[in-house]
Structure 1
Amino acid sequence: MPDTHEWLVTGMDCPSCAAKIKGAVAQLPGIEAVEISVMSRKLRVTATSHATSPADIENQVKSLGYGIEAIAQAGGARTEADEHTTQTAAPWYRTGKGHLVLLTATLLVVAWGVALLLPDAGNWPFIVACLAGLIPVALRAFAAIRAGQPFSIEALMTIAATGALFIGATQEAALVVFLFAVGELLEGVAVSHARDGIRALSTLVPKTALREKNDMLEDVAAAELVPGDIVIVRPGDRIPADGTIISGTGGVDESPVTGESMPVTRGPGDPVFAGAINNETALRIQVTRAAADNTIARIIRLVEQAEDSRAPTQRFIDRFSRWYMPSIVVLSALVVAIPPLFFGQAWSVWVYRGLSLLLIGCPCALVISVPAAIASALYAGARHGLLMKGGAVIEATAAIKTVALDKTGTLTMGQPEVTDILCLDQHSTAEVLALAAAVEKASNHPLAQAIVRKAAGMALPPVQDSRAIAGKGVSAMLDGQIITIASPRHAMQDGALSSTAAAQATAMESEGKTVVVLYTGTALALIGLRDEPRQDAQETIRQLRSLGVTPIILTGDNQRTAAAIAAMLHTDYEAELLPEQKQQTIRELAARGPVMMVGDGINDAPALKQATVGVAIGSGTDVALETADAAILRNCITDIPALIRLARSTMGNIRQNVSIALGLKGVFLVTTIIGMTGLWLAIMADTGATVLVTLNALRLLRTKPAGLAQKN
C-alpha cells in the first residue's frame, strides 16, 4: 500500500521554489505523487515503495536550501487550525534571507568605504562582498542541477555574478548579489502577508472550551471536543466547535465565518459555526463536528486545495516558463559570441551584455504574477464568505454569460408556509395535516419542513419505509398502504387526481402557490404553500444584468408558480424540471457560453456539476464545501454578482501583472542588448517587477466586492 507523509517547508516563498522542490522530490525512486502548497507551506508525498524513506525526502528538500518539519498524521493531536497557528512568521531580520541581506549590505558598505579611503586597495573588498552573498545561491543552484533542474533562477544568478567577477565588474557583481538577496526577501515578506489571511482564519476558533460533563463544567482544549459533547458558551465568547443549540436564544455574530456582520438570532435546533461570537445570552450547544472537521478547518482546507486547481492562464505561463528560461540562456550565449566572433567586437563588452541579459531573463515576476493574485483573491473571498475552489474556477466565473438560479431556497426565502389545506374525502383538516407531516418528517426539502412546522405539537401516525422519489415527492407505508405526497402533475400520472381536484389545484397555483397532493389510490387532500421571493432577489437580478449576465430561473415547481415569481423579478424561467431535465437545460445553455448554476447543492447536484461553475448557497456548508465549484456561506443572493465581480477583478489584476512583468522584461531586453543598461539595472528591473506584481496582487487582500456593502 502506498504511504503518504506530510511536512511543513520553510523558506519557500514563490511558485518557482515550490516547482523546484516538487521536481526534486519527484526524481526520487518510488514516488507516486507530490503535492505542494506555497501558501500553507505543506508538502504531501505519496510513495509506492520503500525505496525512498521520509528521511531521504527530507534530505532532498534540505539540499535545496529549505527547512522541513514532519506534520503529525491523523490521530495526532494537531488540527488543521493548529498547524496554521503554529506557523508564526518571524520578523524579516530574523530569517535566513534577512540575515543574508544584512550581511551583503554590510560588506557592500564596507567595500565602498575601503574603495573611498584606500583607492589602491584593489577589488578584493567587492569580491568578498559578492562571494558572501553568492555562495548560498550557488549551493542552491548546484543542488537544483543535481535534482535535474539546470535552468533555475539561482543558476542564472550564479552564472551572471561569476561572469561579472571574471571580467572585472566586481562592484556591479557585489551589487547584483545584494539586490538579488533583497528581491528574495521582499518576495518572502509579500507571501507572508498573503499567508496572514489564512492564519487569521485559523485563530478564530478559541483554544479552550467549557464542556459540560456529569453535571459539572470543565475547561478543555477545543481540539479535544468530539461530536456529542455539550459545551456552554457565555456571552462575548467565541463558539469553540460546529454544533446545534440545545438551549438559549440570542444574537450570534457569524461575520468571522460568513461575512454577515449583522448578528443573526439563533435558538434551540439552530446550527452554529465554530469561530462565531455569542453576543447575548449563554448558549448550551451540542458539538456536531470534531475540531479537525469544523467549518473553519474545512474552509482552510478548501483554500489550500484550491492552489492545485490552476487557472488556464497560470498553466500557460508555467508551460511558457519551461522553454522561456532555456531560450534566454541560448539568446545570452548568442549575444556573447556573435558580435566578437563575426564582427570583431570586444569580448568584454558583449560578455557583460550577455550576463545582463541573463539577469533580465529571470522569470520571477512572470511566474508569481498569477498565483499571487489567485491566492489573494481566494483569501479575500473566504473572508467575506465567498469560496472558490481555485484559479480555474475564478477564471471561469469571470467569463460567465448566464446565471441559472434555482427558485426554492435560492430566489425565495426557502421558508414556505402552508396557506391552504383542501380535504377531498372524509378526513378532517387535522387528520390530513398529521398524516402529511408523518410522511414528510424525514425529508429536508423546504416544502416538507413547512408541513412539519404546521403540524408542530400534533400526534403523528407511525409510518415506515419513508423514501424520497427523485424529482417527484415522498412516500411512506402506513398500515400496509403506500401514502404519497407529490405535485399535481405526478398525482395525475398516478391516476390519483380527478379533473375537479386538478382544477382546484390550478386555481391555487394561479395565486402563486405551490400545491402538493396527499394521496393513496385517490387524492386525500390538496395542500397549498407559498414561498415569497427574497427581499434582495430583484436587486440581484438587476446587478446581474448590469454585469452583462443573463439570469434565468430553473425550477421543479409548476408553471404557474414559476411564472408568478419570474414576473415579479422580470426574468425568464423554465419550470417543472426534473433533476436530469435541469442538467439538460444547463447543457443547452452552456452551448451558448459559460453558465453558472446556483442552488442548494443537494437536489441540484446534477445541474451544479454540469454547469461551467456550480455555486452552492446558504447554510448547507457540507454540500457547499464538497460538491460545488464555489460556495456562498451567507444566506444572501446579492453575493452572486459579488462573486462574479471578485473573479473579474482578479482576472483584471492578473492581466495587469502579466503586462508589468512582460513589459519591463521587453524594455530592458532591448536596452541591455544595445548597451543602455547594465548588470545592476538588470537585477533592479527583475526585482522591481517581482515586487510590483506582488504588491499589486496583494491589493486583492483588501478587496470588498461591490454588492456586499448593503450587508457589511
Structure 2
Amino acid sequence: MSDSVHKHSPHDHAGHDHAAHDPAQNQATGKFTPVHKHEPHAHACCSHDSAPAVVTVGNGSSADGRLSSFRIEAMDCPTEQTLIQNKLGKMPGIQKLEFNLINRVLGVWHELPSTEPITDAIGSLGMQADVIEEGADKDTESLPAARKPWWPLALSGIAAVVAEVVHFTDAAPTWVVALIALVAIFSGGLTTYKKGWIALKNYNLNINALMSIAVTGAVLIGQWPEAAMVMFLFTVAELIEAKSLDRARNAIGGLMQLTPDTATVLQEGEWREVEVKSIALGSTVRVKPGERIGLDGEVVAGQSSIDQAPITGESLPVEKGVGDKVFAGTINQAGSLEYKVTAAANNSTLARIIHAVEAAQGARAPTQRFVDSFSKIYTPAVFALALAVAVIAPLFMGAPWFDWIYRALVLLVVACPCALVISTPVSIVSGLAAAARKGILVKGGVYLEMGHKLDYLALDKTGTITHGKPVQTDYVLLDDSLGEQALTISASLAARSDHPVSQAVANAAQLPAQLPVEAFEALPGLGVKGEVQGRLYHLGNHRLVHDAGLCSPALEERLEALETQGKTVVLLFDASGPLALFAVADTVKESSREAIGQLYALGVKTVMLTGDNPHTAKAIAAQVGIDQARGNLMPGDKLQAIEDLYAQHHRVGMVGDGINDAPALARAEIGFAMAAAGTDTAIETADVALMDDDLRKIPAFIRLSRDTSAVLKQNIALALVIKAIFLAVTFAGVATMWMAVFADMGVSLLVVFNGLRLLRK
C-alpha cells in the first residue's frame, strides 16, 4: 500500500485541524489506523496568555539539539507554564519546549552545553527544576506535591477574623487592627505575594499579580481588616481549587495503580516473585485466580475468565485460553494461567492508554481556544478599566478618591478570568477519563467536543457490524440416495481448503474423522474438487454449478433467494447432479443491532460501506437497521462516499478496522478504530479507539460528548453571567473586596465541581 496524504478541506468544521492523515498498517493485525500529525496544545488557567503544550521558540531545528527533561513540582497550572515559556523563550540555544502539566514535566530541546542555565532561569521564577535522568520513567517521577504546614493558614484565618471583630467593635486603636491584619496577610499570603512579584517582573498579569495589587491597595487606603480577610479567603480558595484539580489530574493516572508491583516468573526452572518493571520480554509469568495481571502477554497454558473492564470497559468476564491475549491491569477470576510477556511494563496496553490520554489533555478543544483568546483580551482590558475607575471619577467629576479607588480594587479581584479558563480543561479532562474507563480512547478534546455534532456515521461491514468470521447457516440435502454421507464428503473436501467459506462448512460438520481425498484440486474463484471413495465430487459456488450445466431453473431460483439474504451458497455435486446445498454467511453481532438503534435514537443516520456484493450489503443493513448500504466499493469509492456526505453538509464519522478503510477513515471528521486493545498503533494514532469490537461504544461516546458540551456551555455561562453581575454591582458601589473573592473563587470552584461530574458519566 502506498503512503498517501489525505487533507481536510476548508469545510472541516469545529477545528479538526489535522495537518495530514497517513495510512498506517499494523503489521501484527493487518488493521489500518490513520496517523494524525497534531500540534497539541495545553489548557490555560488564570493567565491572560494561552500557552500551547509544544512551543517552538528558536530558529534552529530540534533535530540538531538534545532533549532534557525536568521535574518542576510547582508547574501544575498554565499560570506557571506561561511564565516559563516567556522566560526560556528569550534564551539563546533553546529550540522547543514541551509542557506536560499532568506529570509536572518540562521537556526542553536545546543546544546548551549543560542544563544549568535552564535550571537557573526556572529558579529565578521561584520554581525548582530537577533534571530527570535519561531513561528514567517520567510517570514515576510525578509524585504528589510536598505537604505544606497547616498552621500558617490557620493563623491567617484567626488573625483575619480577630481584625474584623476588633475593627467592628472599636475595641482597639487602628494600629492594633493593622498589626493583626499584617499577621493574617503575611502568614497566609507570602506565597501569593512572591508569585505576584515574579509575574509582574515578567510582565504577566496572572491571578497572583492581580490579588497582590488589590490587597496592597486595600492596605494603602487603610482597609486593613478587609485586606486580611481577602488574602485569607483567596488562599483557602486556591487550596480547595488545587485539590479539585488534582482529582481531575489523577483521574487517568490512577489507572496505573491497577497493575501489581510484582509477578510470579519462571526463572531457571523455579517460580519467583519479581518486580514487574524488571521482567524481560518473552518471560513466562504465572497468575493465580483472583490476581491482577501485571504485563501484556499471550496465554501459553491454562484456561480462565478475565475481567477486562479496565482496558475494554466490558462488564462481563472474557474466556481466555492458549493463544489468547491478556492485558496488564485486568483480573484473573477462575483458573490459573501462564502467559508469555509480549510488552514491557512501560509499553503495556494500559500504559499506552494512560500516556495517550495524558497527551490528549494537551490538545485544546474549540471552546478552549475561544476561552484562551477571550482571556487574552479580557484580563488586560479589566485591568485598564480598574485604573480608569480609580482616577476618572475623582479627577473629572470630583468624586471621593477613597470610594473609587476601593471600587477599582474590587474590580481587580474580579479581573482574572479564572472560572472561565479553568472550566474547559477540567471538563475535557473529566470527559476523557470517563471515556477511557468505558474502553473508549479519545485522542483529544477536539474530538470529544466534536462528537456531539456528528449526524452521519459510515460503517465498514466485516469485523465492524459482523463478526468477520463466516459460519454455516443452511444445509439442505438435495439427493436422498446419498443420505448423510453427503455431509461427510462435503466436510472432507472443504477441510482441504483454507478459504473462509470452505472452513465454515468443515467446522459446522464437526466430523470425528475425515474421509481420504484423492486428486484434490483447488479451483480459484469457484471451489474445489477431489475423489472420495473412488468417485469425483465438486464443492463450489453458484458459478461452478452453472458452468457444469447442472443448474436447473428451480435450483437457480433457490440459490438466488439465498443470495438475496446476503448468504454465500456452496453446492456438492457429481456427474449425476447436485447432491447437497450449504449456505454460509458472516453473522451480525447482537451489539451491532443495539448500537444502530441507539444511534438512531440520538438522531445519527448510518450508511454501510463495504466491498461485498450489494445483495449481502442490503441484507446485513436490513438486519441491523442501517439507513443505507453501498456494496462493491473499492477504497477510493469509500472515500468518495464520505465526500458525497460532506457535500450534503453532513458531519461524518467513519468506523472501520481494515486497510481498505484507510482513505475514508482519514477523510472523516472523526475516525473510529475498532478493537484497538493490544495493537501497537491504534492507541497512538486513532482519533477515537474502541478497545474492543463492541459498536455500542460509539453511541456511548456521542452521549458523553453531548454531556461534555453541555457542561462546557453551563460553565461558560456561569462564569460570564456572574462576572457581569458582579461588575454591575461593583460600579453601583455595593460590592466589597471579600464579596469579590467569594464571587470570583466561588464560581471557579463551582465550574470545577461541575466539570468533575463528568467523571461519573
Same fold (TM over 0.5): yes
**Paired amino acid for 1:70:** V
* Compared CA separation, residues 160 and 593, structure 1 to 2 (3 A): same
Name the CA distance, whole Å, in 2 between partners of 1:452 and 1:3.
59
Q: Is the deviation greater in 311-320 or in 630-639?
A: 630-639
1:217 to 231, 255, 271: 271
Give the aligned partner of residue 611 of structure 2: 556
Name the CA distance, whole Å, in 2 between partners of 1:8 and 1:29.
22
Q: CA deviation at 1:220?
A: 1.0
Q: What SS does the corresponding residue of 1:407 show, helix, strand or coil? A: coil
Is 1:569 matched up with 2:624? yes
Give the aligned partner of residue 626 of structure 1: 684
Name the CA distance, whole Å, in 1 between partners of 2:407 and 2:165.
28
Give the aligned partner of residue 48 of structure 2: none
* Compared CA separation, residues 577 and 83, structure 1 to 2 (3 A): farther
Q: CA deviation at 1:450?
A: 6.4
1:56 to 117, 127, 131: 117
Q: What SS does the corresponding residue of 1:414 show, helix, strand or coil? A: strand
Is 1:611 matched up with 2:668? yes
- 8 Å CA contact retained: 2:70, 2:131: yes
* Compared CA separation, residues 239 and 12, structure 1 to 2 (3 A): same
1:19 to 82, 90, 94: 82
Give the aligned partner of residue 95 of structure 1: 148
Q: What SS does the corresponding residue of 2:607 show, helix, strand or coil? A: strand
- 8 Å CA contact retained: 1:22, 1:36: no
2:156 to 104, 112, 115: 104
* Compared CA separation, residues 50 and 619, structure 1 to 2 (3 A): closer
* Compared CA separation, residues 601 and 22, structure 1 to 2 (3 A): farther
* Compared CA separation, residues 187 and 67, structure 1 to 2 (3 A): farther
Name the CA distance, whole Å, in 2 between partners of 1:516 and 1:8.
65
1:500 to 546, 550, 570: 546
Name the CA distance, whole Å, in 1 between partners of 2:442 and 2:290.
31
Give the gaps of 5 or more residues in structure 2. Answer: 1-63, 477-488, 515-520, 528-541, 572-580
Give the aligned partner of residue 540 of structure 1: 595
Alignment of 1:477-516 (within 5 A): 500=546, 509-514=563-568
* Compared CA separation, residues 13 and 515, structure 1 to 2 (3 A): farther
**Paired amino acid for 1:101:** L
Q: TM-score, normalised by structure 1?
A: 0.83
2:366 to 305, 308, 312: 312
- 8 Å CA contact retained: 2:471, 2:587: no
Is 1:124 matched up with 2:150? no
Is 1:600 matched up with 2:646? no
**Paired amino acid for 1:207:** D
- 8 Å CA contact retained: 1:668, 1:685: yes
Give the aligned partner of residue 45 of structure 2: none
Alignment of 1:242-321 (within 5 A): 242-321=296-375
Name the CA distance, whole Å, in 1 between partners of 2:432 and 2:730.
38
**Paired amino acid for 1:687:** M
Deviations 1:88-122 (A, max 9, x none): 466xxx337x6653342243245457656951235
Name the CA distance, whole Å, in 2 between partners of 1:330 and 1:192.
33
Q: What SS does the corresponding residue of 1:281 show, helix, strand or coil? A: coil
Q: CA deviation at 1:158?
A: 1.5
Give the aligned partner of residue 664 of structure 1: 722
- 8 Å CA contact retained: 1:434, 1:455: no
Deviations 1:23-45 (A, max 9, x none): 43333332222222333323222
**Paired amino acid for 2:309:** S
- 8 Å CA contact retained: 2:676, 2:683: no
* Compared CA separation, residues 559 and 41, structure 1 to 2 (3 A): same
Give the aligned partner of residue 325 of structure 1: 379
Q: CA deviation at 1:60?
A: 3.3
Among all aligned residue pairs of Structure 1 and Structure 2, give the percentage whose two residues are the same amino acid: 40
Deviations 1:535-568 (A, max 9, x none): 1222211211111111111111111111111111
- 8 Å CA contact retained: 2:94, 2:112: no
Is 1:228 matched up with 2:282? yes
Give the aligned partner of residue 98 of structure 2: 35
Give the gaps of 5 or more residues in structure 1. Answer: 423-427, 441-445, 460-480, 488-495, 518-525, 704-712
Give the aligned partner of residue 478 of structure 1: none
- 8 Å CA contact retained: 2:73, 2:145: no
Name the CA distance, whole Å, in 2 between partners of 1:58 and 1:486.
72
Q: Is the deviation greater in 132-141 or in 223-232?
A: 132-141
Q: TM-score, normalised by structure 2?
A: 0.78
- 8 Å CA contact retained: 1:406, 1:598: yes
Q: What SS does the corresponding residue of 1:262 show, helix, strand or coil? A: coil
Q: CA deviation at 1:313?
A: 0.8
Is 1:578 matched up with 2:578? no
Give the aligned partner of residue 706 of structure 1: none
**Paired amino acid for 1:396:** M
Name the CA distance, whole Å, in 1 between partners of 2:565 and 2:392.
85
Name the CA distance, whole Å, in 2 between partners of 1:357 and 1:65.
27
Greater Cα radius of gyration, structure 1 or 2: 2
- 8 Å CA contact retained: 1:601, 1:617: no
* Compared CA separation, residues 20 and 650, structure 1 to 2 (3 A): farther
Give the aligned partner of residue 139 of structure 1: 194
Give the aligned partner of residue 15 of structure 2: none
Name the CA distance, whole Å, in 1 between partners of 2:328 and 2:525.
37
- 8 Å CA contact retained: 2:312, 2:677: no
Q: CA deviation at 1:315?
A: 0.7
Deviations 1:206-245 (A, max 9, x none): 1111111332212111111232111111111111111111
| Structure 1 stretches of at least 4 aligned residues deviating more than 4 Å after TM superposition | 112-118, 418-422, 428-436, 446-459, 481-487, 496-499, 501-508, 514-517
Give the aligned partner of residue 466 of structure 1: none
Q: What SS does the corresponding residue of 1:300 show, helix, strand or coil? A: helix
Deviations 1:583-615 (A, max 9, x none): 221222233221111122644232221110111
Alignment of 1:141-180 (within 5 A): 141-147=196-202, 149-180=203-234
* Compared CA separation, residues 3 and 434, structure 1 to 2 (3 A): farther
Q: What SS does the corresponding residue of 1:672 show, helix, strand or coil? A: helix
Q: What SS does the corresponding residue of 1:27 show, helix, strand or coil? A: coil
* Compared CA separation, residues 189 and 79, structure 1 to 2 (3 A): closer
Q: CA deviation at 1:57?
A: 2.8
Q: What SS does the corresponding residue of 2:91 show, helix, strand or coil? A: coil
Give the aligned partner of residue 476 of structure 1: none
Name the CA distance, whole Å, in 1 between partners of 2:503 and 2:72.
49
Q: Is the deviation greater in 620-629 or in 294-303?
A: 620-629
Q: What SS does the corresponding residue of 2:260 show, helix, strand or coil? A: coil
Name the CA distance, whole Å, in 2 between partners of 1:332 and 1:694.
27
Name the CA distance, whole Å, in 1 between partners of 2:341 and 2:718.
50
